[in-house]
Structure 1
Amino acid sequence: MSTTAQVHVRSVRDEAAPGDGYRVLVDRLWPRGVSKEAAALDEWLKEVGPSTELRRWFGHDPERFEEFARRYERELDGSQAWQQLQDIVADHGRVTLLFGAADHEHNQAIVLQDLLTR
């Protein structure tokens, strides 16, 4: 991965901005109430999102976030979708990971950003 790569995180409900670069939705499910046009995606990488089981266990409970991040990282290890996301970041340099959750601080896009910028 390029050391000049920039990975940003935004809600899919935020209006697209010129500085977003390549916009990737990293949710397994399409966010409710968001049209495909409003999302202004370059790519929807469903499979990089957490499994249904992990998502249900987490339940967007901030107290479970650290454990969620650990379990999610284990799920990603060796997955084709994780490799695809790394390739997207390497190819585009500036990428915005989009999430549909209401919580802007405790979601999978935050975990992915951390992993991609380590």
Structure 2
Amino acid sequence: MIVCKRVYQPATADDGYRVLVDRLWPRGCSKASLPLDEWLRELAPSDGVRQAFAHEPGRFAEFRTAYRAELAAQPALWLPLLERAGRGTLTLLYAAHDEQFNNARVLAEFLGEQLADAAPADAGHGEAR
């Protein structure tokens, strides 16, 4: 399961593996005070894509398309997260104020699609051919 959560929300036992997916460290959070398992800044949108979006909901469709293209070009960055999500809860942490229009939501959607695409191939293992 993949969930998204703002870094400013308290960590819970249900969070599972917690990964910060922002390129910049969140304001107001010390590294010692933010419970996380990993910070994957390379997985965040490039500076150009992030700055073009500027957290404007009207630009989200363009942002989503550009960020998904970046993700598709770099599977080595996100493949380990698929394994984590397949074994338990994966929580993608982000700092954006907007809980709907942000990079973590796009990444969660992208990873969810990758998991769904991988599931039918895995289901065929062990069947007679």
Q: TM-score range by the shorter chain?
A: 0.7 to 0.9
Of residues 96, 110, 127, the one that matches 1:115 is 110
Structure 2-normalised TM-score?
0.81
Structure 1-normalised TM-score?
0.88
Do structure 1's residue 46 and structure 2's residue 41 form an aligned pair? Answer: yes
- Which residue of the partner structure matches residue 7 of structure 2? 12
Do structure 1's residue 61 and structure 2's residue 39 form an aligned pair? Answer: no
RMSD, matched Cα: 1.3
- Which residue of the partner structure matches residue 3 of structure 1? none
Percent identical pairs in the alignment equals 45
Q: Which runs of 5+ in 1 are unaligned?
A: 1-5
Higher relative contact order by CA 8 Å / sep ≥ 6: 1 or 2? 1
Of residues 81, 95, 106, the one that matches 1:85 is 81
Q: CA deviation at 1:113?
A: 0.9
Q: Which runs of 5+ in 2 are unaligned?
A: 114-129
Contact 1:20 1:95 in 2 (8 A): yes
Q: CA deviation at 1:88?
A: 3.3
CA distance in 1, matches of 2:68, 2:25: 22
- Equivalent residue pairs, number: 112
Bigger Rg over Cα: 2
Q: Which runs of 4+ in 1 moved over 3 A?
A: none
